[in-house]
Structure 1
Amino acid sequence: MGMIRGIVMSVLEGMIKRFSASGRSDETIEDREYLQHYGFTSRPKTGAELIIVNEGNHYVAVASDDRRYRVAVEDGEVCLYTDEGDRIHFKRNRTIEIVSGNRLKATVENDVEITSKTALVTASVSCQVNSPLINLGGDRGGLKAICDERLISWLGSHTHDGGATPDQSLTASDVCTAITKAG
């Protein structure tokens, strides 16, 4: 049994993933099986490296790598990555970094639960939540930023009868529901 370092020429998807590669000088290995770990799959680009195990005329690729796109990691870290720069990086200090150049999409059939000490969503254009029900739960006193004295001041700075000063007095109970009113 031997081992060959090869360069990917092509990879074909199917029930059995197959590869073609160049091996040692003037050696071409064509249409052979490419084994991968259960639960993980990848399709290396042309030019990536392969480790091929052979016994007689039986050739099987068992690993691939591509130095052109590899992400540097520290001791103990793991990173899934693509040639386009997208990655899921399991970093030191129990930090997971997800980088997506275009879109991050999660489709969950039932529930999503996030538990943290603090949460921050930063959207440079817009943020939208579509739901038939939003239950804020817990202590709603933190909603003062939604409905506070600034809103009351803004709404109270106009008149209804054309007078010089506001002729309507407003309080938080006039402009906020019990759900959004600051405690």
Structure 2
Amino acid sequence: MIRDVMRYVDRRFAGLRLAFRARLSTLGKGAAVQLAQAEALAGERLQAAELFQHFGFTSAPPPGTQLIVLPLGGSTAHSVIIATENGAYRVDVASGEACIYSMWGDKVHLKQERIEVETKTLHIKASQQVVFETPSITMQGTGGGAAAATMTGSLHTTGAITSDGDHVAGGVSLEHHTHPGDSGGTTGEPK
């Protein structure tokens, strides 16, 4: 009798699909949950498998990304994707670090006691205010050279402004301007 029960259980489990690997073909957009098409490693095609991600984080893995697929209730037709990995773009991190990255090399790398951001353009959009609470801000150009800054709007400081270079306001140089003289000429430049 025990053998009959074991054979029955084995037959029932044989019809259930366990978690398996697949490779992403395409990823749909616009749905509440992203839907993916994928090729299972056994050649099987997945249609509209749901890609579940952690709250507060979303990504669109590129085609070729490896997937871990979990068939709910053992049925391939009701599969969800629970993990993705693409070694071609992954950033190596040290123990305790974390990194958000894209396939184009952009990344936010959380390291011990510092965060490194690498991108071509960093766009920060705040509807109210941006606040930096730090004793010092340093800007330098690529490779440690000079950096340039442009601002549209007013600037107000409560402390002194010190510069090693000339100041030009309204086209007038602070170092090289002149004034009309008392006797009809002009004064020399400031010293």
2:70 to 53, 58, 62: 53
CA contact (8 A) 1:19 1:32 kept: yes
1:77 to 97, 117, 127: 97
Change beyond 3 A, Cα 1:70–1:38: same
Q: Are 2:156 and 1:135 equivalent residues in the alignment?
A: yes
Q: Are 2:133 and 1:109 equivalent residues in the alignment?
A: no
What code does the residue aligned with 1:22 have?
A: E
User: Higher Cα Rg: structure 1 or 2?
Assistant: 2
| TM alignment of 1:10-89, pairs within 5 A | 10-13=26-29, 14-54=31-71, 55-57=73-75, 58-89=78-109
Q: Tell me the TM-score normalised to structure 2 length.
A: 0.72
Q: Aligned partners of 1:34, 1:146: CA distance in 2, in Å?
A: 55
Change beyond 3 A, Cα 1:136–1:126: same
Name the SS for the 1:69 alignment partner: coil
- Unaligned 5+ segments in structure 2 are 1-16, 168-172
What code does the residue aligned with 1:30 have?
A: Q
Q: Aligned partners of 2:70, 2:58: CA distance in 1, in Å?
A: 19
Q: Aligned partners of 1:167, 1:61: CA distance in 2, in Å?
A: 77
Calculate the aligned-residue CA RMSD, in Å.
3.0
Say which structure, 1 or 2, has more relative contact order (CA 8 Å, 6+ apart): 1
Change beyond 3 A, Cα 1:144–1:100: closer
- Unaligned 5+ segments in structure 1 are 172-183
Taking every aligned residue pair, what percent have the same amino acid on both sides?
A: 22
Return the offset for 1:5: 1.1
Return the offset for 1:32: 1.4
Equivalenced residue count is 161
Q: Aligned partners of 1:69, 1:130: CA distance in 2, in Å?
A: 37
1:5 to 17, 21, 25: 21
Change beyond 3 A, Cα 1:168–1:43: closer
Change beyond 3 A, Cα 1:144–1:66: closer
Name the SS for the 1:89 alignment partner: strand
Return the offset for 1:81: 0.4
Q: Aligned partners of 2:174, 2:41: CA distance in 1, in Å?
A: 78
Name the SS for the 2:38 alignment partner: strand
